[in-house]
Amino acid sequence: MNIHLTGLAALFVALTGPALAQDRNMTVHKDPSCGCCTAWAELAEKAGYKVSVVESADIAASKAEAGVPEALWSCHTARIDGYVIEGHVPFDALARLLETRPDVLGIAVPGMPEGSPGMGDDPAARYEVIAWGNEAGDGTLFQKVGD
């Protein structure tokens, strides 16, 4: 019996391990001089993501290439497991995106709201996380932070 359960456990790890590991790999495109982008990337690492940072003086080109609507632009653009993450997105919203896998291109926190992760991380902060692309069109509410 133990051999059978061990075999099932090994099969489970073999089937889910790479997918789980892939979900945690993130590439963050940022301006070399942007400190809040660096802070967000460091918070992502603390949240368990494996972060690679790409510095670019032309960050607008990264956003355009990723398909982020200009109205949703912030200071950095990340990619993870087929999704685009724009700006200071909280990590609970990112985790929900990766868990529920909606038919969207990405989620964004437009601008640079004070208190968002990397911008002070204030629990009393109020801002919106917007989904866009595919079923979300030009933008729909994905999550409200603070009420």
Are the C-beta atoms of residues 12 and 20 closer than 8 Å to each other? no
Predicted confidence (pLDDT) at residue 15 exceeds the cutoff of 70: no
User: What residues are paired with 52 via a beta bridge?
Assistant: 27
Are the C-beta atoms of residues 54 and 68 closer than 8 Å to each other? no
In a domain, 3, yes or no: no
Tokens representing residue 79 in the block: 């990619």
In a domain, 17, yes or no: no
Alpha carbon of 97 to those of 2, 71, 79, 83, 100: distances in Å? 36, 20, 12, 9, 5
Q: What are the pLDDT digits (tens) for 77-121?
A: 999 999 999 999 999 999 999 999 999 999 999 999 999 999 997
What's the pLDDT at 23?
A: 61
CATH number of 104's domain: 3.40.30.10
Virtual torsion, Cα 66, 48, 15, 7, nearest 10 deg: 180
pTM over 0.85: no
Per the structure, the count of domains in the chain is: 1
